[in-house]
Structure 1
Amino acid sequence: IVDYEKNPEEWIYLGDKPAIIDFYASWCGPCKMVAPVLEELAAEYDGQIYVYKVNTEQEQELAALFNIRSIPSFLFIPMNDKPQMAMGAMPKSSFKGAIDGVLLKK
C-alpha cells in the first residue's frame, strides 16, 4: 500500500480506496475484542474501503516504521489527506465516525 523503501521520506498511498490498518498482536485482549467489529465494518463498507491487519510480532520492522508503541493501534488512510493514527480499542460507533468523516468524507 506504500513503498516506503522507494520513498522513505514521503507518504505516497498506492491504494485505490481509503484504508484502515489494524496493528495488533495475537496475545492482546483489546485487539481480540476489536477484531469482530472490524470484520463487520469491512463487510458493511465492502467496495468502499480496505481493512488490513498487521501482526506487530511478525512485522516488527513495519510496526517500528509506523511508530507503533501500543496496541491496538489503527491507521486511517484517506485517499488525498495525511493518514491519522488512533490508539486503543474503540467502539463500532467511533470507527464508523472515522470511516465516514475521515476516510469517505460523508
Structure 2
Amino acid sequence: MALEITDETFEDVVLKSDKPVVVDFWAAWCGPCRMVGPIIEEVSTEYEGKAVVGKVDVDAHQQYAAKYGVRNIPTVLVFKNGEIINRQVGVSPKKVYTDAIDAAL
C-alpha cells in the first residue's frame, strides 16, 4: 500500500530515504488521478522493500507540490538521494513507472 506523505513527513520519507522514492501528487476530485492510483498501488506492492512509494494529496499538502513545480496532476516524481530523477505528468502505463524505478535501483 502506498504511503500517505504529508508536508510534515516529506523530508524524512522522501528526501532522506536511502531507497528510490516514487511520489504521486494527486487530488480526490481529479479523474486522471483515479486512473493512476491503482497503478501506483500495484507498483507499491511490487517494489516493497526496494523502493518507497507514496502519495501526496495536493489539496491538503501544497508545500512540496509548489516547491517542485507540480502544476498539473497527476504528477509522479521519482527521487534518488533527495533529487528528482524522473517526472511523469498525466496518466502513463505502469511500465513507465517501473522503468523509472528500475533505473534508480
Greater share of helix: 2
- CA deviations 1:54-95 (Å, max 9, x no partner) are 001111222211211000001101237x31322111111111
Write the distance in 2 (CA, Å) between the matches of 1:2 and 1:61: 11
Q: What is residue 79 of structure 1 aligned with on the other side?
A: 81
Alignment length (residue pairs): 94
Pick one of 87, 90, 93 that aligns with 1:91: 93
Q: Flag structure 2 segments of 5+ consecutive residues without an equivalent.
A: 1-9
Matches for 1:1-106 after TM superposition, within 5 Å = 1-2=10-11, 13-79=15-81, 82-83=83-84, 84-101=86-103, 103-104=104-105
TM-score normalised per structure 2: 0.80
Please identify runs of 4+ aligned residues in structure 1 that moved more than 3 A: none
Greater share of strand: 2
- 8 A contact 2:16–2:81 mirrored in 1: no
TM-score normalised per structure 1: 0.79
Shift in Å, 1:25:
0.6
Does the residue aligned with 2:18 lie in a helix, a strand or coil?
A: coil
Among the aligned pairs, what percent are the same residue?
39
Does the residue aligned with 1:2 lie in a helix, a strand or coil?
A: helix
Shift in Å, 1:2:
2.6
Write the distance in 2 (CA, Å) between the matches of 1:29 and 1:13: 28
Q: Cα RMSD over matched residues? A: 1.9
Q: Flag structure 1 segments of 5+ consecutive residues without an equivalent.
A: 4-11
